[in-house]
Amino acid sequence: MLTDVAGNRRIVLYGFVATEFGKNDAAHEALTYVESRARAGMPVPQVENRIEIRPEIARMKTQATKSGVADSDNRPLDQVLDDIDHFGITMVPEPSVK
């Protein structure tokens, strides 16, 4: 979420989904999450939805989860977003090329 000098908030979404439904659902979920944590009287933030629809994603096969590794796809969005709020985001360093 971005806030300008006037205090106006804006949510910028980006990524890839297979359908228009997925794109709209992502915007709805993000807005619902932000509104649930907003103080009373705060204006609803503007959503800038940069998510791209890529139908080929629906045809992609998933890989089986390795034993001992948690399946993060089963975690609800609210839990994932709460973890991001709590722990922040840390980028994993790319392996060095030899």
pLDDT 10s per residue in the chain (98 long)?
788 888 888 888 999 999 999 999 999 999 888 888 877 788 888 889 999 999 988 888 776 555 555 555 566 777 767 777 777 666 556 666 55
In a domain, 52, yes or no: yes
In a domain, 80, yes or no: yes
Number of domains in the chain: 1
In a domain, 75, yes or no: yes
pTM of the model: 0.55
In a domain, 79, yes or no: yes
In a domain, 97, yes or no: no
Helix axes 20-37, 77-87, angle to 10 degrees: 50
Reduce the secondary structure of 24-38 to three states and give it as a string. HHHHHHHHHHHHHHC
Q: Supply the range of the domain harboring residue 22.
A: 2-59+71-87
